[in-house]
Amino acid sequence: MYLDSDRRPTLTPKLALRIAFLGGIALVAFAVIFFRLWYLQVLSGDRYLTEARNNQQRKITVQAPRGEVVDRDGRLLVENRTGLAVKVTPEKLPRNRRRRRVLYRRLGRVLQMRPRRIQRGISRELRALPFSTATVKQDVSGPVVAYILERQEQFPGVTVERVFLRRYPHHTIGAHLFGTVGEVTKEQLKDERYRGVNLGDRVGQSGIEYQYDRFLRGRDGASKVQVDALGRLKRELTVVQPRQGSQLRLSIDLDVQKTGQETLAGGTGRGAFAVMNVHTGEVVALGSQPSFDPNLFSKVIKPSDYRRLRDPLNGAPLSNRATQGLYPTGSTFKLITATAGLETGVFTPDTVLFDGGSLTVGGVTFKNAGGGGHGALALRQALTVSSDVFFYQLGRDMNGTLRLQHWARLLGLGRKTGVDLPGELPGLIPTPRWRNRLFKRHLTDRPWSVGDNINLSVGQGDLQANPLQLAVAYATVANGGRVLAPRVGLRIEDSSGRAIQELDAPPSRRLNINPAFREAILEGLRGAASQPGGTSAKVFAGFPVPVAGKTGTAEKGAGRPDQSWYVALAPFPSPKYVVAVTDEAGGFGAETAAPMARTILAKLFGVRGDKARGGGPSD
């Protein structure tokens, strides 16, 4: 028997099935690949081609200069200046990490910065804007710039660019009004008001710079450039120039602002003032002392400077005492007590009360500031001589009814005025409920008593208010009952000063103040500034503009000096302006604050060569 050497094993059905299965898988795989390629090249080719071309282009933002700020007469308050900033171009930096660290150390020595700080700052900016230049330091001096440019081989990727920086030509004058700018924070970027702002951009952080940032900020420009596959710059494609922000005109009078701040600085150096039109609410001047130079914030402020500006032992210069002060007001509060008592029927303008020099209630004796008595008095005379005992009796009679607290709030105390400045504080009008709640929580030594209402009637005790709130209260009585929202911004303008948008104030609240009551109060205030025995008559003797005003001396206790107050309305009998001034350690109102108010009024009304005169010991 012979064997067939060409015989092959037969293909079993099981093997055939396996081969068919594998072939099917291969066919499906090829089909998927084929249709995928067909989809990418035929159906989606145009879209991917566009994306590929876009990957060759980068957009570099060019920040816009902020708009200027001018006073009511067009005088420059805030402007821009050009500075030199040291920046790095990411694609030109050394690729080697060691060489890059050497560059940062070299830059650190020249710019007097820590290399690690330079590295962190560049990394943070490049994460946000990968293809833009990163700022190392702004506002670099000319010699430093020259040193870097003359040694470009030692500073690869380092460039110098002109940038716009904020400039405040009047330095400490109006600092709290104008505010500051600074780099936008990550938290702010989440806010809708910062839409379109990028990390590293400088925005308003306080004052007018913050309040009207969206107008002042302007519109950034952009350069579109072409890069190669490695991200290296090849050429510039298009340039969109930045557009400067709009100009902002304020209601501020620069001369009055300067006079007010210089006058405050001549006192104890800590206080505030407000000057406002009683009919429109336009703020003519608003100042706080001590002040600061906002130019410190034009670039990155040193931590030591920031701590110094916030230090209470240094007077906390960043605090705006005109809108954030929490003070007892002394006898300037008597206008509010008089209005409350008259409007609620507790007394009339001709009601006579006896001032024997003191009032004893519940075993506690409340005395006049000077210790003596004034005898039988009606409202006009009580305001003229500033009789404490007269108003103590009103406070006693209104205790338990909240009439005094109610009218204080109606006139604008214990609530925000609505001024177009950030950070305003509402202050406090003490009530029985407020004090009793503190007592239950062991935060005070006693519950409410009639003595608290007596103290409130003359602006003492737990009352907390600021000069702008007092200005609003006095303006309300002066204009017949319109509670105004003070306004600093007047309008938005283009670079040539043409109006783009008027900044209207919100509607005012209306109070029903009896004209006869209003007249009696104003006549009492006029007597205080003009009649013999008036608390500020000596201060305003010979002043050519008729003034109605009220002194105030707030006792602080604990051995601290008294706080001096004065609020003036002028010209009498149809006031146009209110001036509220306080010096935290000025003593009697007639000795410090009243002469300050006279100096401000002299500038306001153009009285030349005027010198304030000293007053007497009354509050």
Average confidence (pLDDT) over 241-269: 93
Rounded mean pLDDT of the chain? 87
Instruction: Quote the percentage of the chain above a pLDDT of 90.
Output: 59
* Cα–Cα dist 244/489, whole Å: 19
pLDDT band at 617 (very low <50, low <70, confident <90, very high): low
Beta carbons within 8 Å of 617's beta carbon, 6+ residues apart: 370, 588, 590, 591
pLDDT band at 1 (very low <50, low <70, confident <90, very high): very low
Angle at 299 between CA 67 and CA 220, to 5 degrees: 40
pLDDT of 315 above 50:
yes
Report pLDDT for 56: 54
In the chain, residues under CATH classification 3.90.1310.10 are: 59-91+99-250
Average confidence (pLDDT) over 581-586: 96
* Cα–Cα dist 304/220, whole Å: 32
pLDDT band at 2 (very low <50, low <70, confident <90, very high): very low
Among the residue ranges 280-294, 298-312, 517-531, the one predicted with the least confidence is: 298-312
CA atoms within 13 A on the CB side of 562: 24
In the chain, residues under CATH classification 3.40.710.10 are: 254-604
pLDDT of 148 above 90:
no
Angle at 27 between CA 25 and CA 29, to 5 degrees: 70
Amino acid at 503: L
pLDDT tens digits for range 44-96: 555 555 554 555 555 556 678 899 999 999 999 999 988 888 887 777 778 77
405 within 8 A of 457, measured Cβ to Cβ: no
pLDDT tens digits for range 523-557: 999 999 999 999 999 999 999 999 999 999 999 87
CATH entry 3.90.1310.10 includes domain 59-91+99-250: yes
Amino acid at 421: L
Better-predicted residue by pLDDT, 83 or 176: 176
* Cα–Cα dist 162/461, whole Å: 56
Report pLDDT for 425: 97
User: What does the CA dihedral 214, 216, 219, 221 come to, rounded to 10 degrees?
Assistant: -140
pLDDT of 6 above 70:
no
- 254-604 CATH choice from 3.30.1370.100, 3.40.50.740, 3.30.365.10, 3.40.710.10: 3.40.710.10
Residue with tokens 């660290």: 101
pLDDT of 404 above 60:
yes
